[in-house]
Amino acid sequence: MTILKILIWKDLKDFIRDRRSLLTLVSLVIGFPLLYIGILGITASKVESDRNKTITVEMFRGERAKDLSRFLETQGMDVQQKSGDFDKQTFLDGPNSLAIVIPSVFTLSGPMGGQKQRHSIDLMVDHRDQDAQKQLQTIQGLLTAYGQSIGNRRLLLRGVNPAITDGIKVRLVELNQETMAASIVLQLLAAVLSISCFMSTLYLTIDSISGEKQRQTLEPVFMLPLHRWQIYWAKIVVCCLVALLSLIAGALFFTYICRHPSFQSAVGLYAEFSYGLAMQGVFIFFPLAILAVSLQLLIATVSRSIKEAQGLASLLGIGGMLPAILASTLDLDGDSLVVQLLPSISQAKLMEGLIKTSEIPVSQMFLSCAGSLIVAVLAFFIGQLYFYQEKVLKTT
């Protein structure tokens, strides 16, 4: 037992000495949370900037619709009057991406709102400008509101109450805005934990077997008075411990940043997000981390070089995170037994449930753990069998 503890301590010291492993761990614990939070901050800043940005629109034959022009200007829009007819190529080459074209014969309303003629106006948009696509809905809403005001004036002119044309009024009441903010934070936390599962022990698992084979230090370890399965499981314990520490540290750091007042004021996201909720996320993803360790050790055992192991483990990381991405885009039935058993997908669905209820369903958690751990035990068993073969020491 003392020799086994020494072996575990040796693997831990090798991990601490390996700069690549430490750099990967630090980047996952600090780098990725800061990256996602930075992206969230930039997105929030962009939304706020777009909200306060003045919309500029060109108006052709604006003298025929002066009332419309004044209405748009009172709504904060910059209406630039253009003389002459609308020319497509000149407009596309110009600085603006939105234009309103009034027809040559246009009289929307007469005195006191009395109708003379009705004509449609053309709203031109250059879809190459992404900002114009966002501003298009605003302009369409304003034009619709202006058209309704003209209709109301016509009804008043005829002594009819405009309210007679109103349908059902819908009043939007937003509940639990803090919960909505917490759901956004939880989605980002799920992404951070998913990446950590497959990346935190990537170099550690490869170096513990493939690295020792290449340095020719694995054979002296086999000469210790230990069974090979004990040596293999010592490496499993070390890798799983590092994976757990990475998940916990990443979740705690992410939560600390999200709860900090300076972050909340900068992003405008005031989330009721507790450390306990973050630890529930760690509990959900830890079985997936064990699965990742088992597959990475299996790859390191069967590979004959570090480069081969790194290439296969990198593909494993991409493939491991892909199901969670698909689960967020596809409408999968969370109550399906297959979905609850599939690794990565089941964790993503559990996080969705945690966002809604702040609690983990026991039955779904059990199935998710079972699905991941069954595959992990199978991979551990296959890797252990290969570990007993002498060709495990071959590097060519």
Please tell me the distance from the alpha carbon of residue 292 to that of residue 304, in angstroms, as a whole number.
20
Domain spans of the chain, in order of start: 2-46+177-393, 53-165
* Rounded alpha-carbon distances, angstroms, from residue 83 to 61, 108, 119, 236: 6, 20, 20, 76
Q: Which numeric CATH code is attached to 53-165?
A: 3.40.190
Per-residue pLDDT of the chain (396 residues; tens, 9 = 90+): 577 677 777 777 777 777 777 777 777 777 777 777 777 667 766 666 666 778 888 888 888 888 888 888 888 888 888 888 888 888 888 888 889 888 877 665 444 444 445 567 888 888 777 777 778 888 888 888 888 787 777 777 777 776 666 666 666 555 555 555 667 777 788 888 888 888 888 888 888 888 888 878 877 877 888 888 888 888 888 889 989 998 998 888 888 887 777 766 766 666 667 788 888 889 999 999 999 999 999 998 888 778 888 888 888 888 777 776 676 666 667 677 888 888 888 888 888 777 666 677 788 888 889 999 999 999 999 988 888 787 666 665
Please tell me the distance from the alpha carbon of residue 97 to that of residue 115, in angstroms, as a whole number.
31
Q: Where does 158-227 have alpha helices with state H?
A: 177-199, 202-206, 212-215, 218-222
CA dihedral 332, 335, 339, 340 (to 10 degrees): 140
pTM of the predicted model, to two decimals?
Answer: 0.69
Residue type, 367: L
362-387 vs 345-357: helix axis angle to the nearest 10? Answer: 150
